Structure formats: structure tokens, C-alpha cells
Amino acid sequence: MKTMRVLRDERGNILVLTAMSMAALVGIMALAIDIGNLYYTQRQLQTLADAAAIAGALEVTACSGSSNCAVMQAAAKSALTEGGSTTPTVFQQCATASGSGLLLTINNSPCALGASDPNNGNINYVEAVVTKNVPTYFGGYLGISTFKISARAEAGAATPVASGNGPCILTTGTMTLQGGTGGITDAAGTTCGITVDSSSSSAVSSNSGKVTVSYFDVVGKVQNSGATITPSPTTGVTAVADPFLAEINNGTLSTPAEGTTQAVSTVGGTTTLQPGYYPNGINFNGSGYTVTLDPGVYYMGGSLNIGDITVTGTGVTLYMANGTLQPNSSATVNLTAPTTGPTAGLVVWQPASNTSGMDLDTGSNLSFGGGIYLPGATLTLNSGSGVSAMGMIVAQSLILDSGASITLSCSSMPGGVCPGGGSGGKANGSTSIVLAE
């Protein structure tokens, strides 16, 4: 009888272990391939987000203060397609991007990170978020068929447009200088100047007088037959956008309400007036007395005619819904704008629909501590008038007659600077666009 033995031969176990190890190695390799592809795709998306943010930021000024305007969206979208990517689906202003393919969200101002973003709510910056669902090669075996990948970037002007550095005078149309013995001068310590947005061959016409400012930028041409302009105008610059319009669009400035209706329409002696709605404007008759305007907004339904009297007021905005401010010969006006509130920095404001020209008459002595905004009208300084403008002047056009003079400063504007308007010229500080994040 043969003795029975239990065989304990371990040969073949290594094959089982090798097979198990190979399965683990293959799984790790598959995971590495998927992760590597995701990292590669994420880097591609970051490049696209950077390009879209820069392209959008280049169009901030073209939007004139309107968030996410069509030209900005188109520029950001083109930045992706020109880079060889598929056409993205575009979303606006913090929308939740959903769908297949390449998704692009344009935020102007940035908002994806909320209050933790130092540029949150700043319309001078553009944020681009690019998202894509990336299929996995092997993740499906683990129940993961796609990964959602996104990249984010912000871009803006190297010196933000609204940080200041704007001109003391900006005309969207032409400027005529017939200064004679008068002219335009920057106040001591002031580094602002003049920008003329007209593209006309005679955007600036001058035959006498003297202009001494920090700079003189003109989109079109200068026809100078006798005025002394220092420095010589720089022509062919890019137009500067209306900074007050930008502030209206982004809510920094707000169109005033009429307020309490005031019965006064004629004044003939020393008095103090209250802010509110003056449906027919005000006529100051007679001479030799003083009218004080208490702080607030004076909503004028007609012209404000000032004779040979003195009008003073601190924290005042004259909102000329109709008519215009008309200081007559020998009038003295000394008004300063509010420093806070919905009309901060503006002492005279005519809406664009009001095309009544504002004429500052011969012999008048005028001091405006704040901006003068006449987007649809001409500002004319008649012979012998003198104006101290301690705020930015924006007008459709400007005429300076013989002997009239303006002294420029932005000292009464918020922050002590005139707001920058947009692309081009020295009025914006740097026009370089850089990635902020």
C-alpha cells in the first residue's frame, strides 16, 4: 500500500500575483492617462481664458460704461475661435454655464469669486470663465465618463480707466479759440489738459489767444492761425469716451428726481433758496444783492438767468432739464458741487437731450467748484468773461471769444482728479491691458 502525501507545491502562485499586479498597474496607468489629459486640457482652457479676458478688457472703453456690451462679447468669443478652438457658447454676468462643448462666461465687472475678489464690482475689469466637459479614456470603468474642467482669468487697464487722469476739458465736437488777450490755463499744480474728440480737419480752430496746459490732444486736425498753444497739440489720437456717461451707466452718478416743487420763479432781492423743482426756471432781477443756494439739487424746468448780482452755494447741483445757466454781464457766481451722493462732483448738469447752449456773458466772474456737463450743448465764453473751473468740463463743443479766459483744475472733483474717459490720448493714463489674475 502506497503512502498518500499532500502536495504543497507553490509553483504557479507567482502567476496569480503577477496577474493581480498587472491589473493594478494597468488601472494606475489608465488613471494617470486620464489625469494627464485633464491637466493638459485645463492648461489649454487657462490660455483661452487669458485671451478672452484680455480681448474683453480691450473693449471696456468701447462699451462706454455699459457692462457686457455686444462688442466685448464678440471680442472675447473671437479670441477663442481665432486660437483654433471650437465656437463657444457665450454666457453673461455670472450666469451658470451649462451645456456641452466649450462654454464661455464673460463678467464685466468680475463676480465669480464674489467679495473675495479685489476687483469685484469694478467695471474696468473683465473676467472670463471657460468651461468644458472632458471625456475620460478609462474613467468609465469607474463610473466616471466625464470631468468638468474650468479656468478663470481677469484683465484690465494697467492704470484703471476710472482712476482719474482725465482731461480738464473734453469736447465731443469742435473747439474754437479766439482768445485775444485771454486764453486757457492750467491752475498751479494741475496736470490735466484738453482733449478734443472731433475727427474734423478743423477740430480745433484758433486765430489768437494763449493756451498753456499740460497736454492738448486732438482726434482730428488743428487749424491755428495765430494762437500760442503750449505744448503743441498732438493730433490723430484715439477718441476718449465720455467719463460722466460711464459713471451714469455704472451707477456712480444718478439722474436727479424733480423733488419738491418750489413756487419761486422770480427773485428781486437778497434771499436764500431751497433745493427742489423749479418748473419755470428762475429770473434774478435787479442788481446789487446776494442769493444763497442751500445744499442740494436744483431741478430746473427753465433757464436760470442771473443779472448783476452774486449767487453763492455749497454742495449744489444745477440740473438743467430745460433751458440753461445764463450769467449776464457783471454777474458773480460762486458754486461748489456736492462731494457725496448721486450728483457728487457735478455743479452744472444738462442732459444730452437739452441742446440749449450755455453762454457766459461779458464781464461775468464765475467760479465753479465741480464739473460742468453739457453733452448735447455748446459752452460759449463771451468776450471778457472769466471762469475758474475746479472740475472737469465736458461739452459738445466749446467757443472761447476774444478776451475770455478759463483757469482749469480738477481739485473739486471726487478724489481731486478728473475721471478718465476711455481709450486713447493722455487722458487715460496707461492704455496697456494686463492680466490681473
- Separation CA 162–CA 165 (nearest Å): 8
Query: Residue 6 above 70 pLDDT?
Result: no
Three-state SS at 314? coil
Query: Residue 422 above 50 pLDDT?
Result: no
- How confident is the prediction for the chain on average, in pLDDT? 81
Q: Are 302 and 322 in contact (CB under 8 A)?
A: yes
pLDDT category of residue 427 using cuts at 50, 70 and 90:
very low
* pLDDT score recorded for residue 364: 76
**Given the C-alpha cell 473693449, which residue does it identify?**
59
* Whether the bond into 243 is cis, omega within 30 of 0: no
pLDDT category of residue 158 using cuts at 50, 70 and 90:
very low
Three-state SS at 375? strand
* pLDDT score recorded for residue 298: 96
- Separation CA 45–CA 153 (nearest Å): 10
* pLDDT tens-digit readout, 10-19: 555 666 666 6
Compute φ and ψ for 13, nearest 5 degrees.
-65, -35
Rounded mean pLDDT of 180-189? 78
* pLDDT tens-digit readout, 249-275: 777 888 899 989 998 999 989 999 999
Other CB atoms closer than 10 Å to residue 115's CB: what's the count? Answer: 8
Rounded mean pLDDT of 352-359? 90
* pLDDT score recorded for residue 77: 86
Q: Are 386 and 364 in contact (CB under 8 A)?
A: yes
* pLDDT score recorded for residue 59: 79
Where exactly are the structural domains of the chain?
A: 13-157, 164-428
Single pTM value for the model: 0.62
Higher pLDDT, 85 or 290: 290
Q: Are 283 and 369 in contact (CB under 8 A)?
A: no
- Separation CA 112–CA 297 (nearest Å): 37
Nearest to 372 by CA among 421, 320, 422: 320
- Separation CA 435–CA 437 (nearest Å): 6
* pLDDT tens-digit readout, 189-231: 777 789 998 888 889 988 877 888 888 988 889 988 878 888 8
* pLDDT score recorded for residue 98: 79
Rounded mean pLDDT of 277-284? 94
Q: Compute CA distances 436 → 157, 277, 392, whole Å.
A: 9, 45, 29
pLDDT category of residue 299 using cuts at 50, 70 and 90:
very high
- Separation CA 413–CA 150 (nearest Å): 42
Strand partners, 229: 211
